[in-house]
Structure 1
Amino acid sequence: MRFTLRQLEIFVAIAQSGSASRAAERLALSQSATSTALAELERAYSQVLFDRVGKTLRLNDTGQWLLGRATELLDRAQELEDTLSTQSAVGPLRLGASLTIGNYLATLFVADFLKQHPASRVQLAVHNSTDIVGAVARFELDLGLVEGEVQHPDVVAEPWLHDELVVFAAPDHPLAGKTRVSRAELLACDWILREPGSGTRATLDHAFGSERQQLRVRLELEHTEAIKRAVEAGLGLGCISRLALRDAFRRGSLVPLPVQGLDLGRAFYLVRHQNKYVTGGLATLIEHIRAFTGDATSTDDIALAPVA
């Protein structure tokens, strides 16, 4: 063969980072060694894999074709390495989760997974849904767990759990305590919302349809806990997953609003690249995630320990 696994590893790192210098940092190599390895790979097959735009390297069609296949080959090689090294190890696995899933579910089942597979390694990245899907599409993550609809031509999404968003307020808000709240009343209030690109924001925008332009968004925040604190402080209404509001509703620091005519249901999905090779370790992790939630079809069915 005219290529080595190391050359493919360097090629994938450059493709994912966009430059030889960032790939070198990621792989703990010198920039010259990284650039040389790429040049040798291209020269061996008389192929150019990147378009050079200033200091940035962008995959061309040939490079894009190679990326998925090189990633699969490296995954298979890593699986072989793990199996030969120890029969008990699973990984390393790169898992990504959207913020709601990452903050309230992922850390629990990852911790349980590592207890059952103590020699394994899992990297967990927590970002909004758009970022997670993008990372899966670029082969930067082995598996993603996201909220809401997934629309990417290179990604396969498998439904996992049903979830529901809830409009909520501070107990002293003018709408608190009402038996029915209309869309018009909601549009007349200030809102504290997740940022565009999050699954939560996409679900709310879809529910309001064309009226979403009328929402009086006072503040946009990336974290659900920050939104809860802002709503508790009386800055406006919020809308996040019921999963994230259980303890606040139990304590009475926040209250749900009985909104009429607003569909806030959504699904949680497991997402992976359509060309991603599913190693034995990744299959084990997916099986563990589904087993962890058991027969639950909704986040309401999952038993979580209350937080004081």
Structure 2
Amino acid sequence: MNVRQLEAFQAAMTAGSLTAAAGLLGVSQPAISQLIGQLERSCGFDLFTRAGTKMRPTREADVLYAEVQRMFIGVGRVANVAKALRDQTWGAVSVAAFPVFTRRALPEIVTTFCVNRPDVRFSIDSMRSRSLIDAVATQQIDLGFSILPGDRPEVDSQYVCSLRGVCILPIGHRLSAKRLIHAKDLDGENFVALGPNDHSRFLLDKIFEEANTTRRIQIEVGQSETACALVANGVGVAVVDPISVYNNVSPNFVARAFEPVMTFDLWIIKSKTARPFALIETFSEFALQTILRMAETEINVLQTR
């Protein structure tokens, strides 16, 4: 018993005659007769009774036909899944990113990617770069977006771009008319600083030290979005990554280019040891190109207003 014999049997049951079945499969009538004869010998019973050119299925044939139909429905499902995998419209992807990227940029990237892929499922998590590198290394997630390159041998780090830090000021601040804010301009200003655990804190402290500039740090925060909210409330000024102000609709602060230039690098972290999956590679490339477009348009516009 083989699939070709079952196809001939299904066609004969569906079409009602050997001639019509031959037309369905694009073969000759003798070929259909031969395949059904082979299937009958395999089964050990007749599938059709014949009277001249007419044929009627036996009751055994009816029972077998129901099973054959279920089998071909299953084969059809397998074929559909195979096609979806080939077209990369089916599957599951787990992604993690540092918190502000998860809230500001990643939803837009994933939403756009899924527009023509309704059967692709995403799992999205927010974690600090160190943690997500470990998560990719241990294959807890498929892909990570990090501000640090991976420092583990199990991961690959793909550099995406460097984003220039921006100075954010309350609306009506004395410096808001300037298009470029220098570190020296902020001498004596109330300043909202990121905490010592943030990777940019050391770089920013060094910039202000070299500029011989004193800031009045009254509040330290763990995340740059919190700094944006405090600046919007008029607490002080801050220097943050441009992703924090991307799509930020707050009318109470402005973003300006900042010098000396301080950059925030963005990396895509992938596993070296995970089994390959084309959908993950496709999403990774899509995300990379989308981020570059964001960097060239919206984010850079904020730096020059």
TM-score calculated relative to the size of structure 2: 0.58
Name the structure 2 match of 1:30: none
Name the structure 2 match of 1:274: 272
CA contact (8 A) 1:128 1:199 kept: no
Name the structure 1 match of 2:237: 237
Name the structure 2 match of 1:98: 98
Structure (1 or 2) with the larger CA radius of gyration: 2
CA shift, 1:246, in A, is: 5.3
Name the structure 2 match of 1:168: 168
Name the structure 2 match of 1:192: 192
Name the structure 2 match of 1:287: 285
Q: 2:296 aligns with which of 274, 288, 300?
A: 300
CA shift, 1:166, in A, is: 0.4
Counterparts of 1:257 and 1:188, CA distance in 2: 18
Counterparts of 1:224 and 1:90, CA distance in 2: 36
Counterparts of 2:289 and 2:181, CA distance in 1: 38
Residues 259 and 95 (structure 1), Cα distance of their counterparts in 2 relative to 1, 3 Å cut:
closer
Name the structure 2 match of 1:256: 255
Name the structure 2 match of 1:61: none
Q: 1:86 aligns with which of 81, 85, 89?
A: 81
After TM superposition, list the pairs within 5 Å mapping 1:133-144 onto structure 2: 133-144=133-144
Counterparts of 1:83 and 1:188, CA distance in 2: 68
CA shift, 1:190, in A, is: 3.1
Which amino acid letter does the alignment assign opposite residue 122 of structure 1? F
Residues 287 and 194 (structure 1), Cα distance of their counterparts in 2 relative to 1, 3 Å cut:
same
1:240-259 Cα shifts (integer Å, max 9, x gaps):
233443566x8752133564
After TM superposition, list the pairs within 5 Å mapping 1:66-215 onto structure 2: 86-87=81-82, 88=84, 90-147=90-147, 149-154=148-153, 155-177=155-177, 181-186=181-186, 188-198=188-198, 201=201, 204=204, 207=207
Q: Unpaired runs of 5+ in structure 2?
A: 1-76, 301-305
CA shift, 1:124, in A, is: 0.6
Superposition RMSD in Å: 3.8
Aligned residues: 218
Counterparts of 1:143 and 1:216, CA distance in 2: 39
CA shift, 1:270, in A, is: 0.7
Residues 179 and 94 (structure 1), Cα distance of their counterparts in 2 relative to 1, 3 Å cut:
closer
1:143-177 Cα shifts (integer Å, max 9, x gaps):
10122x42513332112233221011113445444
Q: Aligned to 2:165, what secondary structure does the other structure show?
A: strand
Residues 209 and 129 (structure 1), Cα distance of their counterparts in 2 relative to 1, 3 Å cut:
farther
Q: Aligned to 2:235, what secondary structure does the other structure show?
A: coil
CA shift, 1:85, in A, is: 8.0
Identity value in percent: 15
